[in-house]
Structures are given as structure tokens and as C-alpha cells.
Amino acid sequence: MGTNMQKSLVDVLKSADRALLMEVLREAESRLQSQLSSALAADMRAITFLGFLAAVTVATFGAGMAAMDKSFPIAVIAIFTGSGFGISCFYAFEAARPIDFQFVGNDPSSWRRDIEASIALDDALAEQIAHYDEMLKDNRKAMEESASHLERSANIARITMGIGAFFAVMHLFGLLPL
């Protein structure tokens, strides 16, 4: 029995017939494969956004440094904006970095204990499905964390762009007291 006097998932699954167990297993494997596809697509978005942000950051900082002798206010605006994009790059990198991801399947050695203990196939399937359930939850958590980093990166970039544009326009119209 699990906590709160509830049956564990393995115990519940062990009461199912083999046909149902095979369907639940098929769906869990399908879900894990879908998570992998989704995570790879999210990684590509994060990597693409990171590359774009890195180029914008370097260009903005470069413009700020080049403007240092000609227009101090423009230099400050560009360096501030480049800093914001740099922070956005950090979060895009966090979204793109490798995560601990659970994959469908098992190593053959993972079955050793079940074979040595002569565990029935239905019981082994129930344990495998419960294991997949934990893997799905772990993947979901890792993917949500990466998505949060990418969202934070996009928000910082959007805010940085808005603030930078605001001050650039203010300077253009002579409304910036610098």
C-alpha cells in the first residue's frame, strides 16, 4: 500500500488484464516518444532564438562602443540594450542546454531482477508501466523548466527592445536629458 492507504500504481496495474496492460504500455511508450519529439522541437526553438539573440547582443554592444566618442547618450542606450539582450541570451541558453530526459525502453540488464525472481509477465508489465509513469512526470517537469527559461528570455528581450526603442526615440526628439 502507498501513502494515505491508497494502492500504489503498480498494485492497481497488477489487477488489470494483459490486454489492458499492453494498451497502457503502448500509450505510455507513445507519450514518451511524443515528449521526445516535442522536447527536440523546443530545443531547436531555443537554440535558434539564442543564436539570434547572440548576434543582436554583439551588434548592439558594438554599436554602443562605436558611438561612445560620437554620442554618449546613444552609446549608453545601446550598451544598456545590449546588456538586456545578454541577460535574455543567458535564459535562452538555459532553455537550450541539455536536460536529464527519460527515454522509452529499458536496458536488458534492467530485467535481471525480474527474471531471477521469476516475476510474472503481467506483474513485470505493471512495474514497467509505473516506471514509465514516473519517466513521463520527470520529462514533463524538465520540459516545463526549459519552457519557463525560454519564456523568460523572450520577455526580457521584448522588454529590453521596448525600453531601448523608447529611449532612442526620446533621444531622437531631444527629450532625453543627457
- Among 58, 67, 56, smallest CA distance to 161 is for 56
pLDDT tens per residue, range 71-120: 999 999 999 999 999 999 999 999 999 988 999 998 899 889 999 999 99
Q: CA-to-CA distance for 130 and 136, rounded, in angstroms?
A: 10
pLDDT tens per residue, range 24-65: 999 999 999 999 999 999 999 999 999 999 999 999 999 999
110 DSSP 8-state letter: G
C-alpha cell of residue 25: 504500455
* C-beta of residue 156 within 8 angstroms of C-beta of residue 87: yes
pTM of the model: 0.84
C-alpha cell of residue 165: 526603442
